[in-house]
Structure 1
Amino acid sequence: MSAPADKAPKVLPALRAAPSAARYLLVGALVNQMGAFLQTFLVLYLVHKGLGASLAGAALGAYSLGAVLGTLAGGELTHRLGPRTTIALSMAGSALLVSCVPLLSGPGHAPVLIAVTALTGAVAQAYRPAASTMLSDLMPEEHRVMAFSMFRIALNVGAALGPLIAFWLITVDWDLLFWFDGASALGYAVLALAVLPGKRAPAAGGPAPAPAAVADADAVPVVSSRSVYGAMLRDVRFVLYLASMALMAVVYVQYTVALPLELNADGLTSTYSVALTLSSAVLITCELAVTARVKGWPAHRVAGAGTVLMTLGMAGYGLASGSTVVVLLCTTVFVSGLMTNGPTMFAYPATARQAVKGRYIGTSQAVFGLGSALGTVLGEAVWRRTGDGVWLMCAAAGVASAVCAFLGMRGLAPEPAAAEDKAPAHS
C-alpha cells in the first residue's frame, strides 16, 4: 500500500484514469447531495409547521437511527443485488418516501411521520456502500484513495450548493424542499439504471475479469453473512479500525454540535457561518491536492497523522475564548486533518475481496454513523454540564482514534482469502 512519495499519483492522472461510469457515479452523488434536504432542514420545517421542537428532535433522531441501519443493509444488498441495483432501489425508494413528508406534517400524524423519517433514513443511506463499492471496482487500484477523495469532493460541492437552492425554495413554499429532494433522488435512480454498469468490469488499466466476474446483475460469489460478520469480530485489526472510525465520528460531529453551542454562548453566532463557509471552501479546493501528496505514504501513518491533526483543531476550540481569529485558525487545522485522513480511512475497507467488499464498506460506514449519533448525544450532554470539558473529551477520543487507526491499518487490509467460502483476514 505504500509507495515513494514522488511516485504517488497526482490529481490529473487520476481524473484521466477515471472511466465514464465512475464520472457518472460522482455526478449522481453530487446531484443527490444537492437536494438532500430532509436531514438538514427537518427540524426547521417541522417547527415552521407548528409541530414543536420535541417532535422535530424525535423525527431527526429516528432519521439518524434509520440511516445507521440502512447503511448496514446497503452493504448486504450490494452483496446480494449488486451496486447498480442497490443504488437505483435506494434512490427510487428515497424519492417516494421523502415526497410523503409534506403530506404527514399536519396534526395527528406524528407517529406515522416519525416512522416515515426513520424509514427514509434507512432507504436513503443504503446507496452509500453500493456507490463506494462500485467506485472502488471502477478505478485502478493506484487511484482508489484518490477516487474516494473525488467522491467526498462531489458530496461537499453538493452540500455547498444545496443551501442556496433551499433558500430560494423556502421563499416560495417550504414543501418544495421535499419535492426537490425527491426529484434529485429520482434523477440519481434514473441515471444509475441508464449509464452505470450492470456487469462487473475491470477497472481502467486492470486485468481482464474472470468469467464469474462478468456475470449479469453484478453477481458475486456467495459468502454467508454469518461467516463474514463473524470474521470481522474475530479480526482484531479490523475491529481496531472500526473503533477508530467510531471515535473519529464522535470528534467530527462536535463541529455541528458543541461548536455552535459554544459560539452562541460566546456571542459569536455569525462566526459559525463563516467557519462553515471556510471549511467547505478549503475542502473543495484543497482535498484532491492533499490526497495526491499523502497517497504514497503508508495508510496507517496517514490515518494516524490526519486524526491527530483534526483532533488538535477540535480541541483548540476550547482556547478560542471568544476570538473569531482562533476559531477560524482551529477550523483550518481541523479541516486539514479531515482532508488527510478521510479518503484513506474510508477507502480502507474497499481493499476487501469482491465477495465481501460491500459488507465491509457498509459496516465501516454504519459504525461511523453510529459514532456520529453517539457523539451528538455525548457532545450536547458534556457541553451542558461541563462547558469546555467537551473539548477535553474530543482530545481523549481523538488520540484514542489515532492510536486505533495506527495499530489497525498497518499493511494491506483486508487481505484476500484463499478460498471464496472463507471470510477475509488480516495478516
Structure 2
Amino acid sequence: MTATIDKPAGVLAALRRTPTPVRYLLGGVLINQLGAFVQTFTVLYLIFHGFSAGQAGLAVTAYSAGSVLGGLAGGELVHRIGPRATITAAMLGSASVLAVVPLTARPGMFGALLVALLLAGLATQAYRPAVAVLLSDLMPDDIRIMGFSMMRIALNLGAALSPLIAAGLILVDWNLLLWFDAATALAYAILARRLLPAGRPAPRTGPARTGSRAAYGILLRDRRFGLFLASVFLGSIIYVQYTVALPLKISSEGHPTSLYSAVLITASAVLILCELKITSYVSRRPGHVPATAGTVLMALGVAGFGVSGGSAVALVACTVVFVLGIMINGPTMFAYPATFPPAVRAHYVSAHQTTFGLGMAAGPLFGVAAWVALGDGVWWLCGALGLLAAVFALLGMSPPAPVERTNP
C-alpha cells in the first residue's frame, strides 16, 4: 500500500474558499496600512515642526512603547468584548488621537505630544490580536496559514503604497499625514462595525478577572511557547536590521541612495508576488519545519551581507535569500499562536504580538550600537542570533514526544 501525498492547496483555490468576512477583514487591514505614516515619518514631521532630533527620537520611542502596550491591551479586549468590538474600539481610539496630534506638534507642548503618541501607538496596535483571532476563527483549518499569508501581503502592499501617498500629502501640508492616518483608521472602524461578524468573547470558567489570570498563568507555564517567543524576539531584531544596519552599510560603502530603494522595491515585489505560492507548499508541512528552515535562511541572508564585498548584485541576492526565509517562516509563525484553545487563544496571540513589538522596538538600538562597535561584524552577529532563533523555533514548535505507557 503506497502512501499518498497531499497536494498543496492552490493559491486560486484558497482565494475562492476565503470567506467573505475575511475579505472584509483583510481589506480593512490594507486600508489602515495605507495611512500608517507615524513610525515612518514621525522624525521628519517633528523636525519640520521645529523639534530637535533627540526629541524626535523620544517621540518615536513613546510610540513604540505604546505599540507594545497595545499588543497586551488588544489581547485582553478580545478576551473580554470579542474581536469585532476590539477592532472597532481600537480604530476609533486611533483615529481620535491621531486627529489631535497636530495640535500638540509645538515645541512648548512636547510632554503632551509624547502622551498623544504613546496613546496612538497603543490604540493603533491593539487591533492586531483581534485580527489574528478572527482570521483564525473564520478561515477553514486547512488554509488557515494561507489566510495569515494574505494578511501579511495586505500589510506589505499597504507599506509599499503608503510612501507614495505620503509624498503627495507632504507637498500640500505635513499635518495631512496625521489626518489621513486618522481617516483610514476611522474607515476601518466603520467597516469592522458594519461588515465583520459580531463574534463572542472566549468562554471562561469564572469571573473575568479570574479567567484572565488563569489564562496568563497557563501561558507563563508553557515553556515550549516561551521558546517560540524567544525565536520571535530574536527574529524581529534581525528583521529590523534590514531597515537600520543595511542602509548604514550601503551609505558607508559609497553606494547611492537609489540602491537602498532598489533593495526595498525588490523585497516588496518578491513578497507580494511569491508569498502566497510559497505558503501553499509550506503550509502542508508540520509548523516547526517551515519555521526552522525559514529562520535559517533569514540567518544566511543577513550573514551574507557581511561578505557581499561592496557588490550591489550581492546585496540584492542576499536580500532575496533573506526575504525567502521570511516568506517561508512568517505565515506559519504568525498563525501558530492562533492554534491554541479558544479560552486562552487571545492571550497567546497577544503575547506573540507584544514580543514581536518588543523586538521591533529594541532592534534599532541594537543595530546602531552593533554597527558602531563591529561594522560589518553586525551581520555575523545577526547570523548567529538567527541560527539560535531557528533552534528555539524547532524546540518550541515541535510536537511533544508521546508519553510511553508501560503495563504494570
Tell me, yes or no, whether TM beats 0.5: yes
Tell me the residue number matched to 2:253. Answer: 266
Tell me the residue number matched to 1:377. Answer: 365
Which AA in structure 2 matches 1:170? I
Is the CA contact (8 Å cut-off) linking 1:47 and 1:53 kept in structure 2? yes
Residue 410 of structure 1: how far off its partner (Å): 1.1
Residue 358 of structure 1: how far off its partner (Å): 1.1
Residue 284 of structure 1: how far off its partner (Å): 0.4
Residue 111 of structure 1: how far off its partner (Å): 0.8
- Partners of 1:386 and 1:250 in 2: how far apart? 16
Is the CA contact (8 Å cut-off) linking 2:215 and 2:343 kept in structure 1? no
- Partners of 2:123 and 2:4 in 1: how far apart? 42
Is the CA contact (8 Å cut-off) linking 2:78 and 2:201 kept in structure 1? no
Tell me the residue number matched to 1:172. Answer: 172
The residue correspondences of 1:175-324 to structure 2 (distance < 5 A) are 175-199=175-199, 218-222=200-204, 224-268=211-255, 269-324=257-312
CA RMSD, aligned part only? 1.4
- Partners of 1:372 and 1:156 in 2: how far apart? 16
Which AA in structure 1 matches 2:201? A
Which AA in structure 2 matches 1:299? G
Tell me the residue number matched to 1:325. Answer: 313
Secondary structure of residue in 1 paired with 2:55:
helix
The residue correspondences of 1:93-112 to structure 2 (distance < 5 A) are 93-112=93-112
Tell me the residue number matched to 2:133. Answer: 133
Is the CA contact (8 Å cut-off) linking 1:250 and 1:397 kept in structure 2? no
- 1:353 is aligned, of 308, 328, 341, to 341
The residue correspondences of 1:107-118 to structure 2 (distance < 5 A) are 107-118=107-118
- Partners of 2:42 and 2:376 in 1: how far apart? 29
TM-score, length-normalised on structure 1? 0.90
Which AA in structure 2 matches 1:63? Y
Residue 219 of structure 1: how far off its partner (Å): 3.1
Is the CA contact (8 Å cut-off) linking 1:42 and 1:56 kept in structure 2? yes
Which AA in structure 1 matches 2:97? L
- Partners of 1:356 and 1:286 in 2: how far apart? 33
TM-score, length-normalised on structure 2? 0.94
Secondary structure of residue in 2 paired with 1:399:
helix
Secondary structure of residue in 2 paired with 1:99:
helix
Is the CA contact (8 Å cut-off) linking 1:4 and 1:297 kept in structure 2? no
Runs of 4+ in 1 over 3 A off after TM superposition: 3-6
- Which string of whole-angstrom CA distances, capped at 9 and with x for unpartnered residues, describes residues 215-246 of structure 1? xxx13212522222222222121111111101
Secondary structure of residue in 1 paired with 2:399:
coil
Secondary structure of residue in 1 paired with 2:241:
helix
Distance 1:393 1:175, change over 3 A: same
- Partners of 1:85 and 1:326 in 2: how far apart? 47
Percent sequence identity over aligned pairs:
55
5+ long unaligned stretches in structure 2 = 206-210, 402-408
Residue 38 of structure 1: how far off its partner (Å): 0.9
Tell me the residue number matched to 2:90. Answer: 90
Distance 1:196 1:239, change over 3 A: same
Residue 51 of structure 1: how far off its partner (Å): 0.7
Tell me the residue number matched to 2:404. Answer: none
Tell me the residue number matched to 1:119. Answer: 119
Distance 1:23 1:4, change over 3 A: farther
- Partners of 1:49 and 1:260 in 2: how far apart? 25
Is the CA contact (8 Å cut-off) linking 1:5 and 1:294 kept in structure 2? no
Which AA in structure 1 matches 2:22? A
The alignment covers a number of residue pairs equal to 393
- Partners of 2:225 and 2:30 in 1: how far apart? 30
Tell me the residue number matched to 2:56. Answer: 56
Is the CA contact (8 Å cut-off) linking 1:94 and 1:120 kept in structure 2? yes
- Which string of whole-angstrom CA distances, capped at 9 and with x for unpartnered residues, describes residues 16-63 of structure 1? 111110000000000000011111110110011121111110000111
Tell me the residue number matched to 2:331. Answer: 343
Which AA in structure 1 matches 2:254? G
Residue 411 of structure 1: how far off its partner (Å): 2.6
- Partners of 2:313 and 2:297 in 1: how far apart? 18
- Which string of whole-angstrom CA distances, capped at 9 and with x for unpartnered residues, describes residues 304-359 of structure 1? 00000011111111112321111100110000000000000010011011122111
Residue 412 of structure 1: how far off its partner (Å): 8.4
- Partners of 1:11 and 1:77 in 2: how far apart? 33
Secondary structure of residue in 2 paired with 1:319:
coil
